[in-house]
């Protein structure tokens, strides 16, 4: 069986979570006898490229390479699948080709209210829009759900399989799609991204460091909430020797640096884009406050390195990964004080932190490549 991925970016595993998982799944399937091609890239200008070379005839390309299965990596919007079908993919599909569409995000997107509130500065027009969003909140929520339902129904109807990252996403998908049946809907979570789960001895090498590994984007990651919580944490004398490492780059990095200076938030280091492994190895606690996540790769990356996650409970998928009080803490969404209290609790109790770090390592075994690839093989066998 020959498998091709379609996406809007080339296969560079370091570029983001979708790319890392694509690379890992391709390697896993290749090891199990499948022929895995790279990514056919659909650019915004309408062009297609494969491994840097232009593709002008999609149908001929698919037939030439004997492609059996195409995996669409953008299932949160119509455009990629629509483009694929209209450029020759529909003919290939009619002749027996199979399409799997993967949803790598929480299907319930943050509202426009969140988008506006994530802006550092609002224009007068944006203030008016924000007020309108609050006043007519039920209307805008209903409109968003109708739009999302239309998108997901299109993806579902034009795919042979639709794959979410967790069954916890199914209730929302069914709410907005309103179909009679969902036999093509499946769930496969993400596998561990590092090759190995660290041994128990890593707990002995941990430093007094709290880690954030994320794209510096307020709309997606809400780093301002972490900085507000960290300011509260640093008021506690027991946290005097602890520091916060913020790993990553993005459009709001300068905003966060200004916030630290303006608010006098102590012991924060912005490292920029760095390989995250050394920070997980030394870090004791991981913080995540995303507005929504389809999975949250940073959480499982932390678990396999014995880092205890403290996560704002903004997406249902976290309950698949975190057992509250056992291998991490889930705190109420948007509640900065509760978030800070969970961090202080871990910093204050060395024994509890050590036990939870060991529990993190043990719980990471649920997400190994072997278990994940078994689900992929089962899915492909059902096509």
Specify the CATH number of the domain 200-367.
3.40.50.2000
- The model's pLDDT over 323-377, given as tens digits with 9 standing for 90+, comes to 999 999 999 999 999 999 999 999 999 999 999 999 999 999 999 999 999 999 9
pLDDT tier at 135, thresholds 50, 70, 90: confident
Report the distance separating Cα 309 and Cα 327, nearest Å: 7
- The token pair that represents 277 in the structure block: 């492994």
For the chain, how long is the longest CA-to-CA vector? 68
Report the distance separating Cα 45 and Cα 30, nearest Å: 32
pTM (2 decimals)?
A: 0.89
Residue that wins the pLDDT comparison between 13 and 11: 11
What totals of helices (H) and strands (E) does the chain contain, helices first?
A: 17, 14
Report the distance separating Cα 39 and Cα 165, nearest Å: 20
Q: Quick one: average pLDDT of 187-203?
A: 95
What ranges do the domains of the chain cover?
Answer: 2-109+119-190+368-381, 200-367
Q: What is the pLDDT of residue 19?
A: 81
* Percent of the chain predicted with pLDDT > 90: 81
> Tell me, which fold does domain 2-109+119-190+368-381 have in CATH?
Rossmann fold (3.40.50)
Q: What is the pLDDT of residue 12?
A: 62
Q: Quick one: average pLDDT of 66-73?
A: 97
Pair 104, 17: CB distance under 8 Å: yes
Any alpha helices (H) in the chain, and if so which ranges? 17-30, 58-64, 79-84, 90-94, 112-117, 124-135, 137-157, 170-177, 218-221, 223-233, 253-263, 277-282, 297-303, 318-321, 336-348, 350-363, 369-381
Q: Does pLDDT of 11 surpass 80?
A: no
């Amino acid at each position: 069986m020959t498998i091709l991925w379609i996406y809007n970016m080339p296969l560079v595993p370091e570029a983001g979570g979708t790319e890392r998982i694509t690379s890992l799944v391709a390697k896993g399937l290749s090891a199990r006898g499948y022929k895995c091609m790279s990514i056919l890239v659909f650019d915004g200008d309408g062009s297609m490229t494969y491994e840097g070379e232009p593709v002008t005839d999609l149908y001929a390309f698919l037939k030439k390479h004997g492609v059996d299965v195409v995996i669409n990596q953008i299932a949160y919007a119509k455009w990629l699948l629509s483009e694929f079908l209209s450029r020759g993919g529909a003919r290939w599909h009619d002749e027996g080709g199979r399409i799997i569409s993967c949803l790598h995000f929480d299907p319930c997107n943050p509202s426009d209210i969140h988008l506006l509130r994530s802006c550092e500065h609002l224009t007068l027009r944006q203030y008016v829009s924000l007020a309108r969003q609050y006043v007519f909140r039920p209307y805008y929520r209903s409109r968003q759900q109708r739009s999302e339902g239309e998108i997901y129904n299109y993806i579902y109807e034009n795919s042979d399989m639709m794959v979410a990252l967790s069954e916890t996403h199914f209730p929302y998908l069914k709410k907005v799609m309103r179909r009679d049946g969902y036999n093509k809907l499946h769930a496969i979570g993400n596998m561990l991204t590092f090759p190995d789960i660290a041994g128990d001895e890593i707990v002995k090498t941990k430093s007094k460091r709290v880690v954030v590994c994320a794209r510096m984007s307020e709309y997606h990651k809400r780093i301002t909430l972490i900085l507000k919580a960290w300011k509260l944490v640093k008021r506690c004398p027991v946290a005097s020797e602890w520091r916060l490492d913020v790993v990553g780059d993005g459009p709001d990095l300068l905003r966060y640096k200004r916030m630290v200076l303006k608010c006098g938030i102590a012991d924060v280091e912005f490292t920029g884009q760095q390989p995250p492994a050394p920070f997980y190895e030394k870090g004791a606690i991981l913080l995540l406050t995303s507005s929504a996540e389809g999975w949250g790769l940073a959480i499982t990356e932390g678990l396999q390195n014995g880092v205890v996650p403290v996560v704002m409970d903004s997406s249902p998928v976290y309950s698949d990964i975190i057992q509250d009080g056992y291998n991490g803490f889930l705190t109420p969404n948007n509640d900065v004080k509760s978030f800070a209290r969970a961090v202080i609790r871990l910093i204050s109790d060395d024994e509890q932190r050590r036990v939870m770090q060991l529990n993190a390592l043990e719980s990471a075994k649920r997400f190994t490549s072997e278990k994940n690839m078994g689900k992929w093989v089962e899915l492909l066998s059902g096509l």
